[in-house]
Structure 1
């Protein structure tokens, strides 16, 4: 899909992850083409960098994970900050025009040509626009001569040969406006206000990449041409190619397609970052009834521009440690039963190259923003006054060392798309791409010399001025009279809370490492055609193992237990939402989640708990050196689940904050209500009421799980870089040592698996949302057979692929009415005689009835067999290519063998998958569509803005 690059819109999250561009290094010396040429950091020798005589720069790298694939990226050094008042949104609009006609590719043909090579629109063919850059992406499913020529030709067409026809521009305006509607939400409005508060004296808040409705409607072909020729120039262009080819060959292909490109006229002036000074205390309040409350306490400092060097990376690492420890302290506090906030974190980052902020970002409990500030500010002040402890520093150093070590272990099987994007982003941020090995070596050179004094000094420097010039920002759904004065008062009262040195907490030993006599094997067999082993221990525990080379030293583990969502009581629908939270936040009987974090510091372990339809699942990944600890941890969660009260306390605070915002967008309403409507009101699906979500308790979850706790069926799957014998030994020591377990998984009752699709009607069900008044959502669903027959599921899925192509052609390209219309299918095996085919699109409320008729017309085409061979081939080629690529994915093999002893049908579907799709014909789909798209059975839903 074509997309705009936008930053997180939840304000409290802006600084808990990297936000904005990394602070840029000083200007590259005039004679240097790449930053590594003027840095003491050694660049990754596997990357070949080059520069053509016309100024275009490129980087190529050979990589064979996955085999026979490649990623091709092109970065143009321009974004929305180079626009004028009259052309706001042009950079992003121009990115769209890359798909709408060029010298050698007529309008509407580019995507079709790529689909014939196996690139699907959205997944493999994409582009993005930010404030600073425009990027084009092609994921090549093969790397033969034909596809290389085609994709490089398309990139060159985009770079210098776009026609920018006035009529094509006019046709695309509706698509851009539809995308603007799709991006609009109360949360995004709050984000814009946040930018205004911090960057209101710069161009940034006024240059959002999407532009304004007026400029989208009025920008002219002449303005497009001037921007295109001024910025789309070889000296502004960087091409990245990473894939399963030799670097010399890739470099020659880039030269072949780009060396004769000559820029037209003079280059246009580029945006220069504006220096900001926020040296006075400021307070701001933003209210919108449809947002979750967020609060930040920040201090602004001059934006330093540093060269990327060995020393600057060490300095940056030391600077990061204090905020990491502070965030950990805040996280621990948030997980206590009486914490006044849901989450909080600290970070120091540049905000869109406008200002450097150290920010305490808080998500308060609903109605308690002042208490949240009084809870979090003293934690910051405690750290500033008394510093950190050696054990806290040791934990961070251990975690960092492990991260570097794992990066080295897994370096040889890094995936091509990730490598390509790393090279591209590093170029844009003037960062040297180094190797994992050199990064670990540098870390080991300085890590043991980092002192608490170093960390404390760097931390205090980052937060210097927070007491004299705090920047206090509150966004909330609450109407607060004299809010800014109350914010100042709350901060003053928080500062009056006395703080004392933090009490040191001794690190515990893990309580779950001895499981008794290792279990003996009852049976062991190799499934030859899928190349995995099935083992059954004498206690009934089942183990499936597949050794793979696709991720060096990475081992993925899945543990399935009896007791999924279908076993939850119908009268308590809130348990479906609460149960996985209770399990994940509840820790173990002997350890809280924070104690577990401390115990496992410096180890690559972790457990995610989820509720499947009919099974409870524990999943995680580790490296060989930590496999025993990973299995100890998983076994402990099976036998000694904590059910701690803090899980319920944190969950309740989040639900009270989140639930009222569900109706702030059409998609929020859809997620809440449509799953239940499609099952004729079955309350087990969708989101129940807020009261139902809050009245559930940890004791209810414990009571539900108790029958499955000590005596359950257990099926373990291990996929990755491990031999079967090693896996068997580790599982025998843990799960194999359990007492006798159930042989068979619990089966849900016939009543529990009975679902009913609602009666169709021409009159849509009408729901409402409280968000943007220019946005509506239309959905229509047709009943389908269930998924017990594999061929039926595949045909219905393939029809969704083709339907999506037609939706894009008609609703997006022809009508310009919907940005990203979707078609999808749900054909489960669990629920007999139940399934559906769905279509969903965001549109203007004024267009919703007309577009619903367009969807009906497309459905009629399919029902009447109007599926041409060209569309079938364009839809099928990416599917076949994805099948081939998936065979080099651990996640795919985990899906295949996770239930390899209890679900033979899943294995059979893998066996037949490739041939089934290769042998599928357009006639098969015509026959299926003839009975599926009956207008009398269609169930229609409109989600409209509130009046």
Structure 2
């Protein structure tokens, strides 16, 4: 259970910023006092290829494979920047056993989805390929390992394939460009000046991507894809002996193709002697971010001593984070949010970080506040009460991990093992982690936590300000703010909030009016005398895990959007944050410390929805929490403050991103400007109040129809009794009207082609095309639309990505509403180079016209259907499917149960004629709504 490392990083090719390990023989446990998970088989072939095999039963009949190559962008030469990632793409473009253009189609026919079941990612210090096999038949497992063996030593790297992929790489680079990534790159350059990690982003440089010839790829591939840098991970419902033999067969003959090169000199500093100040401006940023960081040498290889020290430090971080959260929630706080963490980089340096986001005009106050809180913790430490909360939460995490260990999913285990291997950490079981850490929790003191925090922050400081604050003299202004902050003496900031959860008695338990069991689905349905409906399913998929979903009232169907636009959005942001009448949100967290409970609140189209996850011991408490929010919601003023901070950030981001137009103008346009669709502007949202929220939401919570579904490791009778003690005590629930008029939503009468611009420095555009369809109540028809969309997506990949190289990940979808009558669509969403938007739009229209005129092929149908059928089999062994798709609202809409009964057979029965008919009737040129969103750099420049 290694130290939790926190870093705010843009999502860039899964950039790895933890522990660069040299290509060492053997495994981390060979040089550690920590024993590895005994369920795993570890081995090394004669040529140096390592393998890790772990039998695991969930999901049954499937296996997760990972190929870890200990090489990434840090291993590139100056003229190879970006080729480690480019090489990852080329692995799918032709190899010894799979000629160019065949591998993706082969995966699909096997029942694997590209992206979901077959994928890869490149970091600075590693490349990881992943396959989620649809079954564990010997032939399937052999094929999967053969693919990985080809990746390891049999890539063709044909020049024409390289040339054809350049546009895709550049499109991915464009898609991943963002304010967050630019700010991160600037910050890491400031924190680690002159270091290789600051200079070697995996996405690379345009000239290298555009011009590199085959020899540069071959040099990188042969040099770094060596047997001693390769590890095969296999987790799933498999036989260890047979899997070992297959690995030996496929990988045993791989040999080095070039001499080894020394590992790169990272040039990483390991300490800070003086305070430094850095700044990066992004006009498009939704807020201003402030961070204070420090550096320490890496503490050493994985060992029991280091893990225990790290856990003591983690307790200190948890307590400091809680203090910052409490301050951020206060009504007049300058903090929008805050974080603290410690993370290790490349087994060389440990970074301590505390940071916050704020409005641009409040950056000095935010800096002063996080600095004061950090100094307060370092100077005065923590209290026994604060430690008690942190320890209780850590104990709960350990206990839950042990209780659910037997049903962990293979894909998560495979990913975790690959991460541990890359970071040179010993992979241990939850039981081992608990056995190591619990004795520490029994005796740890506030003084121990203070010592750990002081050790992590014993160096100098780096202060960095980035985002949408415009500073004329950054160095002087940041230094002045820092100096002013440092002049304020620290005082103890302890939170002595001993609180208990008081909502445990809601009156006389309710009684059951009706109960029935649906044997074929193993579902129990209950109705209480007060009208509360309960759906139950006991499952073995996640040990000691229980998932809940509750629907109350009618949600946005009743929103007074014409007179109070934006009310649903404010309600979603503010309701949970308002806490309860006796406990604010922070006191509530303290009262529930050490308990496996939680609450998610959303305003859905046809209900207010509550979600939570718990275990057997805490199920009653979870239900008490739900009931307390129904009967004692707080609607506290600080909730409005937090919501409005979120509104400002969100609106700023929406205004400066092409994606923002989808959620604002375009969503409203497609609903013929129905005020319930699309996010209103900031001025409108700021005009809503908590009184309006309460007046709309609370009557529905008081009396609205209520249906709760509970799935997981439950005892049915005990669960019914727990619901009776809580939701069963509520006043009688109303019967839900049909809301026929409120369900009417229409597309505009005439199709439109609209072009939008957004002020942004990011050179990225969007192409969005929509064809009106129907709603999702006819599940037979909806499934055919889903399959048609998959065929459409595959054609987009073949044309827009592979042939044109114009987009990294073109998407097609079918969105069919289950709430609004007749409202649904088939659509396409593609991120593009702005100059290519019209060209891509024309290509999409041509694909749609061809499908409308000529239908689909049998091969297209099968390649789209096979991954869906695999997903169906897999989903049936997940709580999420049974809760969200089947049980949730199944008494209000009984047809959902029949949908579950017919799903696989219905998809299997879909014919080419079915899809041809849909394409012919719906992909009509004259009913195409076309939207293009491109940046207006002139506006962005003027906005500075």
TM-score range, shorter chain: over 0.9
Structure 2: distance between partners of 1:265 and 1:357: 36
Q: Given the alignment of the two structures, is residue 174 of structure 1 paired with residue 167 of structure 2, yes or no? A: yes
Check conservation: 1:296, 1:359, Cα contact below 8 A.
no
In structure 2, the residue matched to 1:193 is 186
Deviation digits for residues 407-431 of structure 1 (CA, Å, limit 9, x no counterpart): 1100100011011111111000111
- 1:736 equivalent to 2:728? Answer yes
CA distance in 2 between partners of 1:757 and 1:457 (Å): 63
> Is it true that 1:785 corresponds to 2:774 in the alignment?
yes
SS at match of 1:135: strand
CA contact 1:274–1:354 (8 Å) conserved in 2: no
- Distance apart, 1:357 and its partner CA: 2.2
For 2:303, the equivalent position in structure 1 comes to 309
**Which residue is 1:3 aligned to?**
none
Corresponding position of 2:205: 212
1:785 and 1:792 in contact (8 A); partners too? no
| Maintained 8 Å contact 1:555/1:623 | yes
CA contact (8 A) 2:282 2:467 kept: yes
> Cα offset for 1:339?
0.5
The separation in 2 between residues aligned to 1:823 and 1:178, in whole angstroms, is: 17
Which of 290, 293, 301 aligns to 1:296? It is 290
Q: How far apart, CA to CA, are the structure 2 residues paired with 1:400 and 1:916?
A: 46
Report the Cα offset of residue 109 of structure 1. 0.3
Q: 2:483 aligns with which of 486, 492, 505?
A: 492
Does the 8 Å contact 1:125/1:137 carry over to 2? yes
Counterpart in the other structure of 1:934: 924
Q: Distance in 2 between matches of 1:796 and 1:87?
A: 44
Q: 1:297 to 1:615 in 2, by over 3 A?
A: closer
Aligned-pair CA distance for 1:732: 1.2
Kept in 2: contact 1:865–1:927 (CA 8 A): no
Sort the Cα spacing of 1:8 and 1:42 in 2 relative to 1 into closer, same or farther, 3 A.
closer
Between stretches 53-62 and 283-292, larger displacement belongs to 283-292
Q: Displacement of 1:760 after TM fit?
A: 4.6
Q: Deviations over 1:493-521 (max 9, x none)?
A: 22233333235524122110012222211
Task: State the distance in 2 between where 1:881 and 1:301 align.
Answer: 47
CA-CA distance at 1:212 after TM superposition? 0.9
Contact 2:671 2:745 in 1 (8 A): yes
1:693 and 1:139 map into 2 onto residues whose CA distance is 44
**Is the aligned partner of 1:680 residue 2:672?**
yes
Report the 3-state secondary structure (helix = DSSP H, G, I; strand = E; otherwise coil) of the residue aligned with 1:710: helix
C-alpha change, 1:224 and 1:415, in structure 2 (3 Å) is: same
Superposed, which structure 2 residues align to 1:728-807 within 5 Å?
728-742=720-734, 744-750=735-741, 752-761=742-751, 764-772=753-761, 774-807=763-796
**Aligned counterpart, 1:410:** 404
What does residue 388 of structure 1 align with? 382
Map of 1:495-894 to 2, 5 A cutoff? Answer: 495-502=486-493, 504-570=495-561, 571-742=563-734, 744-750=735-741, 752-761=742-751, 764-772=753-761, 774-894=763-883
Give the conservation status (yes or no) of the 8 Å contact 2:288–2:468.
no
Deviation at 1:747, TM superposition (A): 4.1
Aligned partners of 1:736, 1:827: CA distance in 2, in Å? 34
Deviates further, 45-54 or 345-354:
345-354
1:508 and 1:250 map into 2 onto residues whose CA distance is 54
What's the CA shift for 1:773? 5.5
* Aligned equivalent of 1:237, options 227, 230, 235: 230
**CA distance in structure 1 between the partners assigned to 2:133 and 2:9 by the alignment:** 34
Counterparts of 2:932 and 2:298, CA distance in 1: 51
- SS of residue in 1 equivalent to 2:830: strand
Give the whole-Å Cα distance in 2 for the aligned partners of 1:673 and 1:362: 31
* Cα deviation digits, residues 234-262 of structure 1 (max 9, x gap): 11101100011122221111111111111
Q: What is the deviation of 1:354? A: 6.4
Q: CA shift at 1:833, angstroms?
A: 2.2
Q: Distance in 2 between matches of 1:931 and 1:150?
A: 40
8 A contact 1:24–1:307 mirrored in 2: no
Shift of 1:343: 0.8
Matched residue SS, 2:333:
coil
Return closer, same or farther for 1:534/1:739 CA change in 2, 3 Å cut-off: same
Question: Could you tell me how far 1:556 is from its partner in structure 2?
Answer: 0.9
1:353 positional shift: 5.7
Match of 1:912 in 2: 902
Q: Give the aligned partner of residue 4 of structure 1.
A: none
> Which of the residues 424, 427, 436 maps onto 1:433?
427
Partner SS, residue 552 of structure 2? strand
Structure 2 residue aligned with 1:318: 312
- Counterparts in 2 of 1:580 and 1:317: CA distance versus 1, 3 Å: same
- State the 1:85 CA deviation: 1.5
Aligned residues of 1:24 and 1:305 also touching (Cα < 8 A): no
For residues 357 and 163 of structure 1, the distance between their equivalents in structure 2, rounded to whole angstroms, comes to 41
TM-score, length basis structure 1? 0.95
CA deviation profile, 1:779-831 (whole Å, cap 9, x unmatched): 11111122222121111111100000000000100111111100001111322
Shift in Å, 1:865? 2.5
User: Once the 2 structures are TM-superposed, how far is the Cα of residue 345 of structure 1 from its aligned partner?
Assistant: 1.8
Q: 1:196 to 1:492 in 2, by over 3 A?
A: same
Count of residues in Structure 1 that have an aligned counterpart in Structure 2: 928
Which residue of structure 1 lines up, in the alignment, with residue 325 of structure 2?
A: 331
Alignment of 1:338-353 (within 5 A): 338-351=332-345
Change (3 A) 1:740 1:451: same
Corresponding residue for residue 251 of structure 1: 244
8 A contact 1:337–1:645 mirrored in 2: yes
Q: 1:826–1:836: 8 Å Cα contact kept in structure 2?
A: yes
Distance 2:497 2:775 in 1: 55
Three-state SS of the structure 2 residue aligned to 1:302 is strand
Partner residue of 1:282 out of 276, 291, 298: 276
Tell me the equivalent position of 2:42: 49
Tell me whether 228-237 or 774-783 shows the greater mean CA deviation: 774-783
Distance 1:941 1:443 in 2: 55
Aligned CA distance change for structure 1 residues 653 and 505 (closer, same or farther; 3 Å): same
Instruction: Return 435-444 or 237-246, whichever deviates more.
Output: 435-444
**2:918 matched to 1:924?**
no
Task: Determine the C-alpha separation between the residues in 2 that align with 1:486 and 1:584.
Answer: 38
Q: Structure 2: any 5+ residue segments left out of the alignment?
A: 1-5, 939-944
1: CA distance, partners of 2:227 / 2:20: 22
Residue by residue over 1:61-93, the C-alpha shift from the partner in whole angstroms, topping out at 9 and shown as x without a partner, is 111101001101101110001111111100000
Q: Distance in 1 between matches of 2:461 and 2:291?
A: 7
Q: Secondary structure at the match of 2:147?
A: helix
Give matches, 1:150-169, under 5 Å: 150-169=143-162
Query: Deviation at 1:643?
Result: 0.5
| CA gap 1:697/1:352 in 2 versus in 1, 3 angstroms | farther
Q: Residue 284 and residue 506 in structure 1: after superposition, are their counterparts in 2 closer, same or farther (change >3 A)?
A: closer
The question of whether the paired residues in 1 share the 8 Å contact of 2:373 and 2:493 is answered with no
1:144 aligns with 2:143: no
CA contact (8 A) 1:177 1:216 kept: yes
1:522 to partner: Cα distance: 1.1
Residue 457 of structure 1: how far off its partner (Å): 1.3
Deviations 1:307-350 (A, max 9, x none): 21111100111112222111100100000101011111221223
Cα RMSD (Å) of the superposition?
1.9
Stretch moving more, 239-248 or 798-807: 239-248
Mapped contact 2:196–2:266 kept (Cα < 8 A):
no
